[in-house]
Structure formats: C-alpha cells, structure tokens
Amino acid sequence: MSDRPDDRVVIFDTTLRDGEQSPGCSMNTDEKLRVAEALCDLGVDVIEAGFPIASPGDFDAVSQIAERFGDRATICGLARCRDGDIDAAINAVAKGERGRVHVFLATSAIHREHKLRMSTEQIVERAVASVQRAKEKVDDVEFSPEDAYRTERDFLCEVVEKAIDAGATTVNIPDTVGYATPQQYFDVIKMLKESVPNIDRAIISTHCHDDLGLAAANTLAGLEAGARQVECTINGIGERAGNAALEEIVMALKTRQDHFGLTTGINTRKLSPTSRLVGSVTGQGVPRNKAVVGRNAFAHASGIHQDGMLKNPATYEIMKPEDVGFIGTDLVLGKHSGRAAVKARLTELGYTPNDETFTEVFDRFIDLADRKKEVFDADLAALMEAKLSGA
C-alpha cells in the first residue's frame, strides 16, 4: 500500500488517451508533448499518454512523453488484455522514471456476449494473465473492468479481487457509457470496498462518462464512497459526450473542502491556461458557458448581479477568478447592465462625469446596448468623448 495520506486524491488525466478519442480531437506527437508539459505544470499525478498499440505515432508519443516527463508524473499507457498490447505499453513507458500499464477488459454481460463472445471464466483468466504479464516488467499496474457499472455485482467483485491478487495496484471502475446516477455510482464503490476482501491493497479509481451530464457528479460520489483516484480530462473531452472534467472535480473539491475534506496536488491557477491550450490544440475551443474555465464562468451581465459584484464579489461568485487563472471578473456591459456597473467602468477608463453628464451618457449607452449585444470599453469611451466634445 502507498503512504499517500487518505485525504489525498490521485488525479489521473486521460486527455491524451480517452480525450483524444473524442471525435475531432486527435493529436500528433508534438501537440501531445505540449499538452503533457502543461499537465505536469498543472500538477497531475498520472498522465495517460495514449494507447501504444494503436499506431506507431501513438507509441512514439507515449515513449517521448515518458522520457521527457517521466520524472514529473507517472506516465501510463493503455492496453487491451492482449500480449501485443501489453508489451507495447510496457515498452512505451519504459523510458520514464515512473511508468504505469493500464490493462482493461470488458466485464458486463452485454460486452461479454455481443462484443467479446467470452464466458465469465475466460474473462477472469484473461484479466489475471494480463495483469500478471504487465506486472513482470512494471510495478505499477492498473486494471479496468470496462463497463464495470453495468456488470453483475458478484462477477465484478470476483474480477476485481482476482486482478488485485494478480498484482493490480489500482482498480478502476468505469461507467463506460455514462449510465449511473451519483447515488448508484456511490453504491457500487461502497459495495466493492465492503465486499472485496483484498480491496485495501489497491487504490479504487473512478472513470465516469458524461452521456447524461453526470460525469463530475458521479466522480465526486465515488470519492465520497472511498475512491482515491479520479480519471478525468481537461475540458471534459472524451468519447461521445466526454469524460469527467478535471477542472470541475478539482474546483468542487477545493471550493467545497468543508464538505469533501479531500485534497489534490493541482495548481488551480493553471486550470484556465491549460484549458485554453487543450481547446486550441484540439481545435475545439472552450465552450463559453463551460463550468470553471469558460469565458462566462466569471462574467456578469445583469444589472442586479453587477451591482452585487461591485459591492461584494461573494454575492455572485463562489470561486475567485484568479484561483483558476483568470485575470478577474468580467462585468459585461449590455442592455441588462445598471448604472452602477457603467459608472464603475467609466471610472476605470479614467472618466469622472458629474451626475448630469453621467445621466446623459447612460441614456446613450442604453440606446446603443439595445442595438448591440455587448458594449465594449471603446464604445463607452466614444460615448463619453462625444458628450465632452458637445456632440
């Protein structure tokens, strides 16, 4: 067992593997290296850098990331439970100081019967042999029963127990299709903790997909039930609707430390720059309304909110923009803005109009705002200059 304190959550970032499996998000080696460096600066514990058997390019990317960054984070390669995959993953992470091999095999009835065409006995046998094969060369081995959430509970317990006996140091419990609710995901993690006799020899990990928009909530529920590793991606990119978003989980843990009592090694001030980098490298950008890192996360447009913000930012913000790497709050000037916000912006721009001048400029501002979605500083300055010059 590790000597990691029980309140410390391992952040396993899979932007470069599950994230890149998102349609339109694939990355070349140079792009992966840039993102890997940013992930190290951010302070993630594990970087799943790719799926080495998938292509020579992916092997090369994982290998270069292990060589360059393997002293700053554990570098992980994914493998199906096949000898060729496992050997490729072992070789790809070999150059790093800390390498991990992550083997996975589906366990749910639907995957067993329709995809793998394997019996439960064959699944257990293959999983055990694969973990053992990886373990011969790498100490740090993770096992994932793919589609764990939809797997019969007794069988899930059996596979997890045998994978740990075979040497898995982390057991990951994927909700591969994003089907669980938070309570249900909590229950499955709790059940594993209570029913698998050797569970304390491994770290339990969450891996939640966002098909129903519940990935972050399910991840947090998993932590509350005793998981201590979370698998997540920057901006929540990933297969279909994506994976649990790293920035949401980390900021939930930090903002609600009073509730969770858990810590991470993340430098949260790097969240927004890392998010922008991933948005630009993948060409997907960052959705404006994305929690924590979207442009609107710290922007206020309504007069009532702007007035509250000017009096005390805690009225409408539960996190400080600087804590996630934004320069500050953005009071967006538009037709919903009130006098207080417009006056404050004029002051910032160096104008101190008397009441009569301000009233007239404010009327012109409202007129302009009705025609324009957003009134920028330059527009406001132009209104003020026009008034001062008597126009």
Using CB under 6 A, list all residues that contact ligand KIV: 18, 104, 144, 146, 172, 174, 176, 207, 209
Spatial separation of the C-alpha atoms in residues 241 and 27, rounded to whole Å: 18
Q: Which is nearer to ligand KIV, 18 or 248 (CB)?
A: 18
Q: Which does 146 bind (CB under 5 to 8 A by kind): Zn ion, ligand KIV, none?
A: ligand KIV
CB of 231 to ligand KIV, least distance (A): 7
Residues annotated in a binding site for Mn(2+): 18, 207, 209, 243
Site size with Zn ion, rule: CB under 5 A:
1
* Cβ-closest position to ligand KIV: 174
Say whether residue 175 binds Zn ion (CB under 5 A). Answer: no
Q: Which does 162 bind (CB under 5 to 8 A by kind): Zn ion, ligand KIV, none?
A: none
Q: Which is nearer to Zn ion, 63 or 144 (CB)?
A: 144
Backbone φ and ψ of 257, nearest 5° = -55, -35
Q: Which is nearer to ligand KIV, 188 or 369 (CB)?
A: 188
Contact 273, 293 (CB under 8 A): no
Spatial separation of the C-alpha atoms in residues 186 and 93, rounded to whole Å: 32
CB of 236 to Zn ion, least distance (A): 12
Contact 149, 174 (CB under 8 A): yes
Spatial separation of the C-alpha atoms in residues 188 and 256, rounded to whole Å: 23
Q: Which is nearer to ligand KIV, 69 or 104 (CB)?
A: 104
> Residue 178: CB partners within 8 Å, gap ≥ 6?
208, 209, 210, 211, 212, 214, 215, 240, 241
**Candidate segments 14-22, 132-140, 258-266, 324-332, binder of Zn ion by CB under 5 A:** 14-22
DSSP string, 98-128: SEEEEEEEE-SHHIIIIII---HHHHHHHHH
Say whether residue 210 binds Zn ion (CB under 5 A). Answer: no
What single-letter DSSP state applies at residue 291? T
Convert 132-198 into a string of H (helix), E (strand) and C (coil): HHHHHHCCEEEEEEECHHHCCHHHHHHHHHHHHHHCCCEEEEEECCCCCCHHHHHHHHHHHHHHCCC
**Candidate segments 12-20, 122-130, 198-206, 274-282, binder of Zn ion by CB under 5 A:** 12-20
Q: Which does 48 bind (CB under 5 to 8 A by kind): Zn ion, ligand KIV, none?
A: none
* Count of C-beta atoms within a 10 Å radius of residue 303: 17
Q: Which is nearer to ligand KIV, 205 or 272 (CB)?
A: 205
DSSP H or E segment with residue 13: strand 10-13
CA 209-197-144 angle, to 5 degrees, is 25
Q: Which is nearer to Zn ion, 48 or 307 (CB)?
A: 48
Residues annotated in a binding site: 18, 207, 209, 243
In terms of DSSP bridges, do strands 299-300 and 170-175 run parallel, antiparallel, or are they unpaired?
unpaired
Q: Which is nearer to Zn ion, 17 or 162 (CB)?
A: 17
Q: Which does 305 bind (CB under 5 to 8 A by kind): Zn ion, ligand KIV, none?
A: none
Amino acid at 381: A
Binding mask 335-354 for Zn ion (x = CB under 5 A): --------------------
Say whether residue 18 binds Zn ion (CB under 5 A). Answer: yes
Q: Which does 144 bind (CB under 5 to 8 A by kind): ligand KIV, Zn ion, none?
A: ligand KIV
Q: Which does 104 bind (CB under 5 to 8 A by kind): ligand KIV, Zn ion, none?
A: ligand KIV
CB of 17 to Zn ion, least distance (A): 9
What single-letter DSSP state applies at residue 239? S
Q: What are the beta bridge partners of residue 209?
A: 243
Contact positions vs Zn ion (CB under 5 A): 18
